[in-house]
A and B are shown apart, each in its own frame.
Chain A
Amino acid sequence: MDQRDAALELLAEHPRYRRLVRRRGRLALSLTALMLVGYLGYVLLVAFDKPLLARSLAGGATSWGIPIGLGVILLAIALTGIYVYRANREFDAEVAAIVAEARR
């Protein structure tokens, strides 16, 4: 192991680093779970209850499948947006502070 790696392993023990990784990991995992549930739920709905998706939404031609499918697309964009918003606002600054601290 070279000296750099030793320094990095020291950083791994730093409470501030550990807190960042835990917070970011929890966010990423929850958002991944939401996407999985949303999409696989949609796929299973298609597999098991086709009539529901084909049912008319408001008496017209538009079916329930349209807003539900649209919802999955918007969910994907929204979850991505939530992650980027939090990462840009919180995590980047925290990483920069940790790296600066480690350099000293």
Chain B
Amino acid sequence: MSATGGGPGWPALAMFGCFVLLTLAITRWAARRTRTAADFYAAGGGITGFQNGLAIAGDFMSAASFLGISAQIFADGYDGLIYSIGFLVGWPIVLFLMAERLRNLGRFTFADVASFRFAQAPVRTLAALSTLLVVLFYLIAQMVGAGQLIRLLFGLRYPYAVAIVGVMMTLYVLFGGMLATTWVQIVKAVLLLGAASFMAAAVLWQFGSPEALFARAVQVKAAAAAAKGAAPAEALTAGRAIMGPGGFIKDPVSALSLGLALMFGTAGLPHILMRFFTVPDARAARTSVLWATGWIGYFYLLTFVIGFGAIVLVGTDPRYLDSAGALRGGGNMAAVHLAHAIGGDLFLGFVSAVAFATILAVVAGLTLSGASAVSHDLYASVFRRGRADPAAELRVSRATVVLLALVAIALGILFEKQNVAFMVSLAFAMAASANFPVLLLSLLWRGCTTRGVVAGGAVGLVLALGLTILSPAIWVTVLGHDAAIFPYGSPALFSMPAAFATIWLVSRLDHSGRAAVDRAGYLAQRVRSETGIGAAGASGH
């Protein structure tokens, strides 16, 4: 049976085939409209606020969050909600501090904004480096997840699965640029929201009310504990435990640190920030955040219901469990099995195809962001000092897309057996520690200088990476040492303030000629960022 994840279910393959054809048609349509650099990097600035909101939400509704968070709820209950809330609360911050200013100052990459009044070469080099690091870690996590998921869903061998993802996303980005990347993301977001809404509605309809669902889930968990030999009182406690926080947050420092990384990392993720350059003006940028926040919040509520639904409908059904009572295909399959329990083989196929589509859409956005950093920031602005021929810049960008896809495929295969769970939170920590402080202070502090942001951004980046390597997730889990040198789950609580402090201190001590230019440029930049005067036009035409 296909629900076991053994062989390729025909409905899944057929629906996935339909999605591939649809996205290739979108790519073909987008390729005809992608001529200039503004088309390639920013979809010509012609995406509406509502569309961009869906695309942004799509970037956050990755396979990792749909399957991963519902799996976490399936296993531990309430803890999954704590995790998902962290991914949502960064959005208001992006809106209040960043979105409109980004749109008013930038054209293609967040480095446009970060380097607006500074010496171009050093600031863009740093921004490009941090973009590539963030994108790479995020990409590896997605590729490894994709390979394992596709092997389970379609019975494909892991390297083929990774290669298919790499080739498909290359096609979207290479030929369709940002326009195709955005519309693939929008189509997927609508499909995923539709599928998740249907699943959550079916679960709630079956139980009548959330209270009935929770009560039944507690019974199921208690019965499972009793079956393992727990005394009745202990079993009841174990059952009740899913309704409150469990082991996810261990110590207050790790909790706070991860909270900060998720909250402020969102405002520093390059593949998210670039979406604000695809809309025509600040008003559309603002609207897109409202839509994105609404959709993401709604999606996490659905995931919560889906996770609890899986506890009852999947966790008690021997069809989905192996002889040891564990989930067939691994923990991440909770939502996929639930799809089968609700809608049979056909709906299972639909949800599997949507999960695959989710991965494709997210990696395409990541790749385009990495390629823009190389071609627009490193090649055109640093190497050619802003005098690059636009056609040559586009060629560099497309070559980088191919290169990044090859690297992603290679690393995806290389990391197959590794524990990559830390990589997404590392990407968030680096974004919060390097990009966010650099952007915020360059936008809002007159005294900020080139040397300050380069030093502070570098400190944040190195510290986030270094402390993560020394933390339990890598030092103990991956490298096999006995005890971690850095005992906390996330570095952001230390690396982010260190970056802010370094920017402040180095800027204050900076009396160079460049520093005078940097400070003199503040007022005009501020007025532009507040009013949109002189903002890059809505389209490149």
Binding site for B on A (CB under 8 A): 1, 4-5, 8-9, 11-12, 17, 20-21, 24, 28-29, 31-32, 35-36, 38-40, 42-44, 46-48, 50-51, 53-56, 60-63, 65-66, 69-70, 72-74, 76-77, 79-81, 83-84, 87-88, 92, 95, 98-99, 102
Contact = CB atoms under 8 A, between A and B. Distances in A.
27 contacts: A5-B524, A28-B96, A35-B92, A35-B93, A36-B263, A39-B89, A40-B256, A43-B256, A43-B259, A44-B252, A46-B82, A47-B249, A47-B255, A53-B78, A56-B243, A60-B211, A65-B243, A72-B89, A73-B300, A73-B301, A76-B89, A79-B92, A80-B293, A81-B290, A83-B95, A84-B289, A87-B286
Given A76-B89, A80-B91, A83-B96, 12 more contacts: A28-B96, A40-B259, A47-B251, A50-B246, A54-B240, A61-B215, A62-B214, A69-B78, A73-B85, A73-B301, A81-B290, A84-B290
Contacts of A12: 523, 526-527
B215 A46 contact: no
A51 B246 CA distance: 10
Interface in B73-118: 78, 81-82, 85-86, 88-89, 91-93, 95-97, 100
B531 interface: yes
Interface in B207-253: 210-211, 214-215, 217-218, 240-241, 243-246, 249, 251-252
Given A21-B530, A47-B251, A61 B243 contact: yes
A48 B252 contact: yes
Nearest to B292: A80
B343 interface: no
B283 interface: yes
B509 interface: no
B485 interface: no
Interface string B277-293: 00000010011011001
Nearest to A42: B85
B294 interface: yes
Interface of B is mostly: helix
B211 to A, nearest CB: 5
Contacts of A8: 523-524, 527-528, 533-534
Interface of B: 78, 81-82, 85-86, 88-89, 91-93, 95-97, 100, 210-211, 214-215, 217-218, 240-241, 243-246, 249, 251-252, 255-256, 259, 263, 283, 286-287, 289-290, 293-294, 297, 300-301, 520-521, 523-524, 526-528, 530-534
Given A77-B297, A83-B96, A65 B85 contact: no
A62 B255 contact: no
A35 B89 contact: yes
Contact of A88 (B218, B283, B294, B520): B283
A28 B86 CA distance: 20
B531 to A, nearest CB: 5
A86 to B, nearest CB: 10
Given A32-B96, A61-B214, A76-B297, A69 B256 contact: no
B256 to A, nearest CB: 6
A62 B243 contact: yes
Nearest to A21: B530
Nearest to A69: B81
Given A47-B251, A50-B245, A76 B92 contact: yes
Given A54-B240, A62-B210, A63-B243, A9 B523 contact: yes
A39 B530 CA distance: 28
B78 A98 contact: no
Contacts of A98: 531
Contacts of A40: 256, 259
A81 B53 CA distance: 14
A97 to B, nearest CB: 11
Contacts of B263: 36, 39
A46 B244 CA distance: 9
A36 B259 CA distance: 10
A14 to B, nearest CB: 9
A81 B245 CA distance: 29
A84 B286 contact: yes
Nearest to B217: A61
Given A60-B211, A62-B210, A76-B88, A4 B524 contact: yes
Contacts of A20: 530
Contacts of A31: 92, 96
A80 to B, nearest CB: 5
A41 B297 CA distance: 19
A65 B245 contact: yes
Contacts of A62: 210-211, 214, 243
Contacts of A38: 89
> Which 8 pairs of residues, A with B, have the shortest CB-CB distance?
A54-B244, A61-B215, A61-B214, A47-B252, A5-B524, A63-B243, A28-B96, A47-B255
A61 B85 contact: no
Nearest to B85: A72
B300 A43 contact: no
